[in-house]
Amino acid sequence: MRDPNPADNELVYSLKNDDACAFNAIYRRYWRQLFAFVLRQLDSKEDAEEIVHDLMLSLWQNRATSRIQNLRVYLFIGVRNLVNKSIRERINLRKYREYQLLAGVSEHLDASEPPDADQLAQAIEKVLKNMPEKTALIFRMSKMDEMPVKSIASKMELSEKAVEYHITKSMKLLRHQLKNFHSDN
């Protein structure tokens, strides 16, 4: 590649011919735009970096077989698909964590009258809504999103001890408010 600023179609042609310089030029040209796009969607620098990295890795690995008509469109559709996949995985993970939480509470329930899962989920939501906002948010981050205490502390600009306090407080409130779901045995 001798042209200091080649057109996208030239970069694609060179990329298909195993030109690492063409790949580097594509990366330099598009990574900021792709990163900004993903960051707006997911609000996580780490996730944005990982998704752009995965896209670029795929571009390089599939360079010989890919059919790229418009490089910019190809990259943005690819990154959009990776963002959508990430969001779907997060939704499924969140549902699973909520299930785990409900299952943990259900272990202490009266087996003779099992509560409706929706009723229990509503009761938990009601307790969370009545908690101080910060305490409820920290509980959700810790127990539903499974964020480490250190990450929560950094994100909330609190000490790790303060985060642990809020988690303990929320668990006590949940146990107390949901005691009517517990067995007396």
Which stretch of 49-53, 169-173, 179-183 has the lowest confidence by average pLDDT?
A: 179-183
Q: In the structure, what pLDDT confidence band is assigned to residue 184 with cuts at 50, 70 and 90?
A: very low
Model pLDDT for residues 126-150, shown as the tens digit of each residue: 888 888 999 989 988 888 788 888 8
The string of DSSP codes covering 23-83 is HHHHHHHHHHHHHHHHHHHH--HHHHHHHHHHHHHHHHHTTTT---S-HHHHHHHHHHHHH
Contacts 24+ apart (CB under 8 A), 109-115: 109/181, 109/182, 109/183, 110/181, 110/182, 110/183, 110/184, 110/185, 111/183, 115/181
Listed by start position, the domains of the chain span 8-88, 108-181
* pTM greater than 0.85: no
- What distance in Å separates the CA atoms of residue 71 and residue 61, rounded to the nearest whole number? 16
- What distance in Å separates the CA atoms of residue 78 and residue 86, rounded to the nearest whole number? 12
Instruction: Fill in the amino acid letter for 72.
Output: R
Q: What's the pLDDT at 147?
A: 86
Q: What's the pLDDT at 112?
A: 47
Angle 135-139-140 (CA atoms, 0-180°, nearest 5)? 120
Which stretch of 66-70, 116-120, 180-184 has the lowest confidence by average pLDDT?
A: 180-184
Structure tokens at 93: 């993970």
- Closest alpha carbon to 111 in 182, 38, 8, 9: 182
Q: In the structure, what pLDDT confidence band is assigned to residue 41 with cuts at 50, 70 and 90?
A: confident
Highest mean pLDDT among 36-50, 90-104, 116-130: 36-50
Range 8-88 has CATH code 1.10.357.10 = no
Question: Do 8-88 and 108-181 share a fold?
Answer: no
CATH of 108-181, one of 1.10.300.10, 3.40.50.200, 1.10.10.10, 3.30.230.10: 1.10.10.10
